[in-house]
Each structure stands twice: as C-alpha cells, then as structure tokens.
Structure 1
Amino acid sequence: MPQHMFGPDPVHENRVLRSLKALRMQLGHKGSSAILGVRSSFAHLGDASMDKVEFDRWLSSNGLHMSTHDIDTMCNYFDVDGHGHLNIEAFLTGIRGDLNDRRMSIVLKAFAKADPEDTGFCHTTDLMANFNVAMMPEVRKGTLSEESAKEVFLHRLEGTADVLESNISKEQFVDYYSWLACSIISDDTFVDLVETAWSVSEADVDEDRFNMCVQVLMGWADEKVKGVTDEVKQKQLMRTTLQHFDLENKGSLFMPQFMQATHRMSCSMSEEIAQLFFDKFAVEGKLDYYVMTEALYS
C-alpha cells in the first residue's frame, strides 16, 4: 500500500484501513458478484486515476457510501504521483488485500490440479475439468445454468468475454480468490469453499508443505557436505545442528528451539507446519530429533 505523499502517518493510514474495511463490508453485503465486479467497474473509464468528484461518482454508481472526509483521505493516500488524484490500481490493491498463508495454500493447491508441472499457466479446458461448477452460488440458487456459470466464472477470472480458448495464469487465479476473500471473514469458510469447488483437501496442503520443508532440510544437509551422497554424514550434520539448540542435552526440542534450529538450516516454517513435525516425531511434547533424523533418512 502506498505511503502518504507527505510521508508515513500512522493515524492517516489507520483511517484508510478503517475506510477500506467499511467499503469491503458494504460490498460483502451485496454478495460476491459485487466484490468480483469492482475491478471491471473501472474498465470503461480508460484512465489510470480519478479525482475526488469522479471517485464520489464511482461510489454512488455502485451503491456505495463514503463520507466527504474519507473520500479526501482516500484520494490523498492513493495519490502516487502527487497530482491529487486517486490511483486506481493502488486503490484496487488496497481494497482487495492479500490472502493470508492458510488461504493462499489452499488456492495454490487448487490451481496445481490443472497445472501439475507448476508452469504458472493452465488452459481453461484443464482448469474447468477440475472445477465443480455446481457449487457456484448462482447455480445453487438456480439463476444460472452450469454452462452459463462456467462462462461467468472464466469471465471473472480473466476479465474478458473471450476466454474459452485461452490460458489462465496462476496470478489471475490468485487475484480472483483474493477478491472473493474480501467478502468472507472466516478462514474456515473460505477454505471449505475452495475445497468443495476444486475437490482438494487442506490436509493434503499441509502434507505437501511438510514434504517441502523436509526437502529443504535434506537439501541443506546435502549442500553442507558438498553434495557427497553420504546419507550418514548428512544425517549426522542435521542431528548435530538440532542438538546445538538442545540446551538440556536430552535429545529433544521444544517448539521454539526446533523453529530456531530449522531456521538455521535455511528452512523458515510456520508454527502450523512445525506442529506437523511434532505430530510425527514428538515424545512427551518435545520433538525427538534422533527419531526425526532416522525417519528422514530411512
């Protein structure tokens, strides 16, 4: 999010954040279609920015309300070139926000079903083959047929009508769900929505992230022994590094110690993922790094 043109101002920024939250709530009450339609509602303007009068007019045309003072605040805050106009792209980024780690993980898992080789792109045919269109709100309400709903979904993804024979990028997919997430407060609700739509499981996401961390740790050990394919040396190095953080020298680590040790081994992980290691290798609440290293190199 851009800083105010006159420099960082926490009070000013807090007001902007409150205004953005209020705007998201107004859009949320109108449903996911309103949220997803925000970007396209600017398309006809043909400009990269708008003045305060134009911004007020845009709000009114979309059934949204903001005080005159808040309009001034927003236009000043999202004025990236000092001309007194609200930069549309900066504003869109601000109102959309970013997915948190949990939401991002399940979204990337969904996209990976259509892009198993992680190219960053997938054809719409492959994408839609994995999409449970029957779960779209419009289909469930009976306002759209499944075929029409597919076209609506693809249009929202790419922002153009002619998308049936094109590729969708990972960035477009994430952007779509970032907008959709604006109207969903609960992480559990969001994850359930993506799981249902794409037949993926958050449990699988966690396992994938666990395996990725394992590969990073083993890769670190391999690099440290200069690529020598001697698993005994690699295992011993990993164990010695973990032992360095074992202040009681009892062969086990508490969570903070384990996370410090893995950070030393070039693997920064969340507590959520660290807990997976504890679930697999903990004894009486502490991670047994002898058991862990034996298992990783078995």
Structure 2
Amino acid sequence: MAATTRHEAELKKKCKAIIEDKNSTLLEIFRAQCLMRGACGIKELGRTFRIIDDNKSGTLDQKEFEKCVRDFGLTQFTKEHTDQLFQEFDKDKSGTIDYEEFLVKMRPPLNNRRMDLIMRAFSKLDYDKSGLVTKEDLEGVYDVSKHPKYMSGEWGADRIFEEFLKTFESEESTDGTVTRDEFVAYYAGVSASIDSDAYFDVMMNNAWRLGEKSAPRKQWKEQKEDSLMVKMPDGKVRNTSIVPKGGNEGEIWRSKLWSQSAEEAPSDQKAPPYAWGKGACRAGGIPSVNEVYPDP
C-alpha cells in the first residue's frame, strides 16, 4: 500500500533531474529536495512546520519558516532563497504562511482523477470519519489474518497496525496518526514517480480495493481474542493472537502450535485435540491439560 522501492528510486531520479535543470523554478527545486527523501518527504516537512508552530496557530512567520527549513536539514537554501520561498507561499501578503495552503503548494500537482483515487482510499481508511487515520480505524478495515507475521504468530494485531502506519512516516517522526493532508501529500509524492494515469489507477485500486466495501468492524477485545504467549520446545516464544475464536486460520495455527509443542511433551501433558479450539494456554512452557481454559 505504501510506495515500493522501485517507485522511490524513480521519484529520486526525477527529482534529481529537476534539481539539475537550469529552467526549474526555486519552488520546484525546493519541492524536489524534499522528495529526494522519498514519498513522505513533503509530509515530514509539514510535521516540522507543526513543531515550529509552538503556539498552534497553524501559521509560521518569516523567521519561523527559515527555522523550519533549517531544522528539516535543507541547508543548501540560503536566507535569500527562504525569503523568496516565503513570498511564494504568502500569497495574501499577511506576513504568515498557513499550514494547509503550505502543504497544497508544496505537493506535486495532482489531476482530478488521481486526487479522487487518493481521497477514496483515505475515506476507506478513516473508519470513524474523524479526518485522522489511527490504529483504531485500521481495526475496522484492515484484515490482519492474512499478514505473514500474524499467521506465524510473530506479531499481534496491534504491532501490525503500528507498522502499517509507520509506512507513511519517516523514522525520525512517528506519532501513530496520519491526517488527510499528510495522506494526500504522501501519495502526491508517489504520484510524481508515475507518469501513467492508468497505472496509478490500477496501483491504487489493487492496494486499497476501492471497488469493495469495508469489512464490518472487528471488535477484537470484545471477542476476547487469545493473546497469550507460549514458549516452544526450541526456546522461541510465540503468541496465539491469531483471530477471534472460531476462525479457520486460527484453528490451523493452534493445531500446528500444539503439535510442535507436543513433540517433546510427556504423554500426560498432551491436550485433547479439541483443546485449542476452546481457549488459550498460559505463558511459560508447554501447557498441560488442566492449563487449557474450558468453555465458560
């Protein structure tokens, strides 16, 4: 769902060409320098903007803008450059730059077709329609049961949601939420690496299944999903947070988990075949029959 390595490489190639082109405007070069950091570059500059805006006014004055550019690491831009850029952003000559207008001006141009696809994807993700995508939103639209690390028991649902949100953020700036403007800024960066509208359409539809309705919200906690840890005979710890009880994938994994544990277990510690379908085992080693919770 996030930009692939190929897209990132193509984006950087195009940005380098813009930077080296003597006919490029200062704004185009500034944008390209941000996108040299990847599709999330403009969104991360926006986050630096919000950090500098310590009074939460949603605006920056000229000195604050200079600090924003400097703190973001774009030191190749002189004070003369930042003064020119500030005038470019401050269209109403108010002496300040508005955050929303700043992001719109910074992101690469998007035609109506691409913008519609991006907004449909965000709307599908933003389950509670708050304008923010959070871990809680993902519980309603992201089926983790097919994720390889979930099926293997290496990661639980919460970890997968957290890692997913990180794909829209840089390593230096993660807060576990993605705003509508940040989402658009990210995909504007991805879009800049793709020339064909048809290809962008296919990519977005394949990634977000825009023609399908979201699945009903999964109430993981209310269904009391198994989430306890089990120490395997090889010393590795696996978790059993697979799917709410009754799911086929969960039953398959529980059977596999038990069979691996039972290989070295004394015969009097082997649970009956139906045990894993009835509950979870406690942490700290191979479970005995009386450690398997019975049905209520």
Fold in common (TM above 0.5)? no
Normalized per residue, which structure has more helix? 1
Give the TM-score normalised by the residue count of structure 2. Answer: 0.42
Give the TM-score normalised by the residue count of structure 1. Answer: 0.42
